[in-house]
Structure 1
């Protein structure tokens, strides 16, 4: 893992990487380049060491990387436009200062940076992600002139990649820890769909597929290779006929409550057990 992390940190200078670690490191660098599209590294978490869980949450935002969202807010006669970029800068050129969310006053075009991507925090729950941009421009009068802070609550919506970016409120009537609160919906905040197939269902599907391949393959072999016709095209028809007869005999033996023909029970031959024999008439033998 340390080698992969080194590749990631030094990926901007591939020539230096290859000189230091030769072919093995170059292979690692290629692997990092392959997954770079799914890694969000523009948002910098302001801590000595980024945890794996925080980086994983940032990586979930990769489909929204550098996308811009706008919303307008009116307060009396004043109107403001807020522009938000996910792990990307809003302004371009020399004016860009790592701003991730800015406020534009409509009347005079005054731009105020609310939060920057180089001071980011991220928190997630079951179906939401809270993205926090800190180190914005300082308040003039409110909140003891502390830097502004933007908090964007991204809620789960499986039907859309991103929509509904709006401002909820600005909490500036506090002594400290003031913030702007925004919200939006996105499918990136949704938990991954879990498979609803049980192990038994998967085994049944595999078994059905194997049976289908056996019947179709055997039929084609019997027809085009052996040249069989009619029922003889069914694979191993003789075996299945015999198996059917055996199964029928076994079912007949197990399931019948009485045998088909009842045998005469054995008895002794004592005189007391002999019944009266029918009288034989021989009148027809007498002469007429």
Structure 2
């Protein structure tokens, strides 16, 4: 026996409602979606579901704006995919500024513009068209999620009115490309070869030859002789004084030890 018709209808209605409630941004573009927009949207994945709030004052009224990146502000069954909502302080009145099922996204070198459309309609402005939220995400390498602020509400036109917000994030920054010069590559290769030579030679000398102490260093005799030659060359080239100098005191030579001629005093004797 089949299920009652009313039960089938309620189940279908619940399934339709569940499918109509989103948990992610839905890009607008018909059957074909832009690969570029999808790539930019994927860049915002670390901010997905993050909640931001900003406050502003208009006359004597205080307003609070609540924003979620590609997520709904309310998770109950009455949610209408609201992604950015305006609420008045001290009042229960709220207005949906934009919904995530009507998402547009544009990017530049160091910025991303996230647009939520299909908000609640204006009462007396912009020919009662639907509200639209535009969030400008600017590059800031110092923070993943900066402050969310209100820039302006443009509602003095007859159409295409919008709310403009801004925030900083490193996700809007271009990727940093690292290019190694030829000299850097050669230095890296040389350093690797030296490391392999020292480690491999040490292991060979220790475990194969059985050397101990300084003898474990590969080709220790060659490097010692090379060091001595380099020291001699530096000593020869860099010294400004002669290596030997005359002594301050003259040595006693054989000529100084010769017997002095005998002094005769015969001329003093009386004749």
**TM-score, structure 1 as length reference:** 0.66
Distance 2:200 2:192 in 1: 12
What SS does structure 2 have at the residue aligned with 1:95? coil
Deviation of residue 236 (structure 1)? 4.9
Runs (5+) with no aligned partner, structure 2: 1-22, 231-271
Cα deviation digits, residues 79-117 of structure 1 (max 9, x gap): 111000000001220231111100011132211101011
Instruction: Render the CA deviation track for 1:180-230: whole Å, top value 9, x for unaligned.
Output: 000001111111122143244134213312211211220222123202356
Q: Residues of 1 paired with 2:188 and 2:72: CA distance? A: 50
Matching residue of 1:136: 119
Alpha-carbon separation, structure 1, partners of 2:213 and 2:118: 82
- Structure with higher Rg: it is 2
1:47 aligns with 2:29: yes
Residue 165 of structure 1: CA displacement?
0.3
Which of the residues 171, 183, 204 maps onto 2:187? Answer: 204
1:121 paired residue number: 104
Higher helix share: 1
1:175 match: 158
Task: Encode CA deviations 1:147-206: one digit per residue, 9 max, x unaligned.
Answer: 100000001111111121011000000011000000001111111122143244134213
Higher relative contact order (CA 8 A, sep 6+): 2
- Give aligned pairs, total: 207
Q: Point out the more displaced range, 129-138 or 196-205.
A: 196-205
Establish whether residue 186 from structure 1 lines up as the match of residue 169 from structure 2. Answer: yes
Question: In the superposition, relative to structure 1, how do residues 230 and 70 fare at CA in structure 2: closer, same or farther (>3 Å)?
Answer: closer
Per-residue deviation, 1:133: 0.4
The Cα shift of 1:241 comes to 9.3
Distance in 2, matches of 1:147 and 1:169, equals: 17
> What is the SS of the residue equivalent to 1:107?
coil
Kept after mapping to 2: 8 A contact 1:78/1:107: no
Separation (CA, whole Å) in 2 of partners of 1:92 and 1:108: 21
- What CA RMSD, in Å, does the superposition of the two structures yield over aligned residues? 2.5
The Cα of 1:118 is off from its aligned counterpart by: 0.7
Local SS of the residue matching 1:94: coil
1:77 aligns with 2:60: yes
1:103 & 1:241 partners in 2: Cα distance? 79
In 2, Cα distance between equivalents of 1:228 and 1:94: 78
User: What is the TM-score when the length of structure 2 is the normalising length?
Assistant: 0.70
Query: Structure 2 CA distance, aligned partners of 1:167 and 1:95?
Result: 27
Of 89, 104, 123, the residue aligned with 2:72 is 89
Match of 2:12 in 1: none
In structure 2, what is the Cα distance between the partners aligned to 1:198 and 1:162?
Answer: 34
Supply the distance in 2 between the matched residues of 1:51 and 1:239 (Cα, whole angstroms).
Answer: 66
Q: After TM superposition, give the deviation of residue 239 of structure 1 in Å.
A: 8.0
Unaligned 5+ segments in structure 1 are 1-40, 249-288
